[in-house]
Amino acid sequence: MAFAEFKWDDLIGEISGLSTVIIVVAFAVHVLMYFILWMWARRDLRAIATSLYDFTRRLKNQSLLEHRAHLSVQIEAFLADVNDVLDDPSRQEDRAALLDRMSVLDEKRRYLNSMFFETVYNITRTMIEAYPLGGVLGTILAIGAALQLDAAANDVVSVSSIVGRFGEAIWSTFAGLMAAILLMFINSMVETGFERLTESRRHVRETIARAKRELFLHVSPRPASTEKSAQGTSS
């Protein structure tokens, strides 16, 4: 039993001593996750914008944007081009071209699936709140380690032993608070872009659904009517 208690006391002391290092390592991993999410969002935005450009290519009055324009702005412009075609029944040639290119968007459907991305981002954002709690936990462990150390030596708990461990507690709390502040700043910089990606995906899904509904309904029957008129002319 004494051996188990000794090991438990050692474990508390080791964890309290490493609490600051653990927080710093977790912070580095957290920053890496934000970088991965940023690259992920850029890749999906670029894929969606490229797909919509191919989808609206050679349409009359196609939007021409600078290459420096933000990808979400390009996506909104291409969606506006598609909606212009859908709102104008007289543009039968453009409607037929969009119907023929519908497979382009179907091949890129996986970039419109946002559940996994949003789940990972939500976890990454929510876990920022754990850093101040981790700092407080490091403080509690440091003080607890001092108490356990004196209790194991059968001595009265001295102020000096608590103060010695309290230095570790201060750095643990400082690291937790600073990590939370820096991660909140990073989140504020990328949050708008991630929200625009979610909105762009939703707008693209809605536009694709509308395009399929209207194009298949109004464009597909044209060949049949054309054949009937051709047969009537030949007869």
CA distance 168 to 166: 5
Q: To 10 degrees, the CA torsion angle through 45, 47, 50, 56?
A: -90
Residue that the structure tokens 């643990």 belong to:
172
CA distance 204 to 112: 8
Q: To 10 degrees, the CA torsion angle through 52, 53, 54, 55?
A: 40
200 contacts: CB under 8 Å, gap ≥ 6: 45, 48, 72, 75, 76
Identity of residue 131: Y
**CB 175, CB 130: distance < 8 Å:** no
Show the DSSP H helices in 90-221 as ranges.
92-100, 102-107, 115-126, 130-152, 159-218
Cβ neighbours of 28 (radius 10 Å): 11
Residue 34 CA from chain centroid, whole number: 8
Structure token digits, residue 220: 């597909």
26 contacts: CB under 8 Å, gap ≥ 6: 131, 134, 179
Q: What is the structure's pLDDT at 228?
A: 44
pLDDT category of residue 234 using cuts at 50, 70 and 90: very low
Q: Which residue has the higher pLDDT, 13 or 38?
A: 38
Mean pLDDT of all residues belonging to the chain: 76
Q: What is the structure's pLDDT at 18?
A: 75
| pLDDT of 226 above 90 | no
Spatial CA neighbour of 186 closest among 11, 27, 6? 27
Residue that the structure tokens 């625009």 belong to:
196
Spatial CA neighbour of 201 closest among 99, 91, 72, 82? 72
CA distance 37 to 115: 13
- In tens, the pLDDT along 105-115 reads 666 667 677 78
Tell me what the mean pLDDT of segment 2-19 comes to. Answer: 59
| pLDDT of 30 above 50 | yes
